[in-house]
Structure 1
Amino acid sequence: MTAPNQEHPIRIRKPAWLRRRLPSDASYQQVRRLLHDGALHTVCQEARCPNQFECFSHRTATFLILGERCTRRCRFCAVEHGPLGPPDPHEPRRVADAAARLGLRYVVITSVTRDDLPDGGAEAFANTIRAVKERIPEALVEVLIPDFQGSRDALHRVLDAAPDVLNHNLETVPRLYDTVRPGARYQRSLELLGRSRRHAPHIPTKSGLMLGLGETDEEIGQTLRDLLDVGCQMLTLGQYLQPSREHLPVDRFVTPEEFQAWKEKALEMGFQEVASGPLVRSSYHAKELYQSSCTERNVE
């Protein structure tokens, strides 16, 4: 684990460990058609996730509810700005139907940030959780939620719908928030995770960081301690990748060996399970992370 570069280059060539062959098998195309026919969005597509080809080929996806446009302008994210229209009341059923057709038994649901809605979209999350569990009673549901601008009621509404995992990403260290996540607040996100544990202690919490934005090792370590202090149990660490020239540049590419070292460090610190690697994202292999963290549950 080394200190980052102090100056941002205009563009850094991707190292070999970030280059992947793109599959084009029948399952990949089937998932694309299913999502298109159901008028559904995925974070895989909207955020230009580097794992979408692999995940679609394995007939899985992370559903993106509340539209494909966001009210915030985070400088790391490829999702478009400027939401249009109210939530679609039929979207929860379409998500549940698509999850059933994909044969999913572990469903991950996230959303754009909708600061324009009175509840931030909490009711849409709750309705989608309930729709999936009604359609697929044996399924487990993980939600990756925004901060709801700190609303306790909105958070409680989601938790009371009984998701099996509550995920909320810190994304980066506190010093970089104004640059990376304008509109978000580090302490507010930490408080959300702590409130989740207090309101629903049986629901495990999860969070994630992007590395390679200019953070130091000391800052990463303190952020991990902050997460543990609010009861966070699962952690993901991945490489930040610049979606376009209009987004923040990559400060440096963290090596696979450094990611492995951070995984070992985080486990020693007290996290139950950690996924750490250049291509790890918050919902990448989410089922496997949950199974490793909660071995007492039988996830088929």
Structure 2
Amino acid sequence: MTEITPLERVRHPEKANRPDNPIQRKPAWIRVKAPVSKTYNETRELMRGLNLTTVCEEAACPNIGECWSKKHATMMIMGEICTRACAFCNVSTGKPNALDPFEPTNVATAVKTMGLNHIVITSVDRDDLADGGAQHFADVITAIREAAPATTIEILTPDFLKKPGALEIVVAAKPDVFNHNLETVPKLYTTVRPGARYYHSLRLLDRVKELDPTIFTKSGLMVGLGEEKDEVLQVMDDMRMADIDFITIGQYLQPTVKHHAIDRFVTPDEFSVLEKQAYAKGFLMVSASPLTRSSHHAGEDFAKLKIARDKIAGRG
């Protein structure tokens, strides 16, 4: 059995006793270069200086070199400790610290300093909070609007499970894009995403459109976890029934030997087929590739989303 390092023990205490799942060698199409650019280091220093956390680092995103070199970063609010223990995720699990009251201002300062046209804000799950962190999300959105009114805002939220009224607080703050990832097919929820409920997540996104039809909705899937293609197509149909505008589909990459095993590496050709099928089902925007992640190319994709909606409305 592979020995767990002290760092891994602190980061993922709930995974310590799980059997090892050897990490498979990545195929050539999924390898990325190590980040080395000057702009990458500048982005890193800005985040450190403002005491901000990024999901790029916490979730070990393979696109960090590319995104940070372009001054794109997905900020993760409400700390770096999550109350959930999803089998795919590399974010630390445990008892979170108190919310930082200066975080909304610090996030807004970073957005203004970087001169961002589009920003993605995500968070850990905060089941310990009465509203799941909904008001904090709203405060961050408001602070960005005040500091950088031209910046469009995309949020990637938790599911706010058993938090009545939380979703309404976030939607009232009027983000431009509301993203919540379904992550996988229903049959795998008990092993991949045990703290969540598939139909609750689906209903959350459906409810966003009911509350404010002008907000774009978005959701993502990982593949390579053991799902069947027909199950992926069914999730697409479920998403369209919930009027979701944008779907992302990417390859699951196993962070450590204690995380869920990779079932297989899905080929680029298979992703191309999934992209065509998703567009045929009516999504306004589809991003499907081995390295697709929820916030990868988010700014460019938002511009395409607006163009696609305008065409349907006869304005393009």
Give TM-score, length-normalised by structure 2.
Answer: 0.90
Look up the SS of the partner of 1:248 in the other structure.
coil
Q: Residue 69 of structure 1 corresponds to which residue in structure 2?
A: 81
- Where in structure 1 are there 5+ consecutive unaligned residues? 1-7
2:23 and 2:108 map into 1 onto residues whose CA distance is 41
1:286 is matched with 298
Structure 1 residue corresponding to 2:48, chosen from 11, 36, 39: 36
Q: Is the 8 A contact 2:120 2:155 kept in 1?
A: yes
CA drift of 1:60 comes to: 1.1
Q: Does the aligned pair in 1 maintain the 2:21–2:258 contact within 8 Å? A: no
Which residue of 2 is the match for residue 165 of structure 1?
177
Distance 2:87 2:282 in 1: 31
CA distance in 2 between partners of 1:242 and 1:151 (Å): 31
Q: 1:69 to 1:9 in 2, by over 3 A?
A: closer
Structure 1 residue 185 corresponds to structure 2 residue 197? yes
CA RMSD of aligned residues (A): 1.3
Distance (Å, rounded) in 1 between the aligned partners of 2:244 and 2:44: 34
- Aligned positions, number: 290
* Equivalent pair of 2:218/2:247 in contact (CA under 8 Å): yes
Deviations 1:192-229 (A, max 9, x none): 01110101111010000000000001100100000000
Amino acid at match of 1:104: L
Secondary structure of residue in 2 paired with 1:264:
helix
SS state at 2:29 partner = helix
Q: Residues 253-264 of structure 1: matches in 2 within 5 Å?
A: 253-264=265-276
Q: 1:142 aligns with which of 154, 159, 162?
A: 154
**TM-score w.r.t. structure 1 length?**
0.94
Q: Distance in 1 between matches of 2:83 and 2:39?
A: 33
Pairwise CA distance, 1:10: 3.5
Checking the alignment, whether the CA contact within 8 Å between 1:150 and 1:188 is kept in structure 2 is: no
Shift of 1:9: 7.4
Measured in 1, the distance between the counterparts of 2:300 and 2:234 equals 27
Identical columns (%): 49
The one-letter code of the counterpart of 1:111 is S
Moved over 6 A (4+): none
Q: Secondary structure at the match of 2:161?
A: helix
Q: Does 1:153 align with 2:182?
A: no
Stretch of structure 1 that moved more, 14-23 or 139-148: 14-23
How far apart, CA to CA, are the structure 2 residues paired with 1:133 and 1:176?
Answer: 38
User: Which residue is 1:52 aligned to?
Assistant: 64
Q: Which runs of 5+ in 2 are unaligned?
A: 1-19, 311-316
Quickly say closer, same or farther: Cα 1:294–1:152, change in 2 above 3 A. farther
- In 1, the alpha carbon distance for the partners of 2:82 and 2:35 equals 29
Corresponding letter in the other structure for 1:121 = G
Letter in 2 for 1:65: I
Q: Report if aligned partners of 1:70, 1:113 keep a CA contact under 8 Å in 2.
A: yes
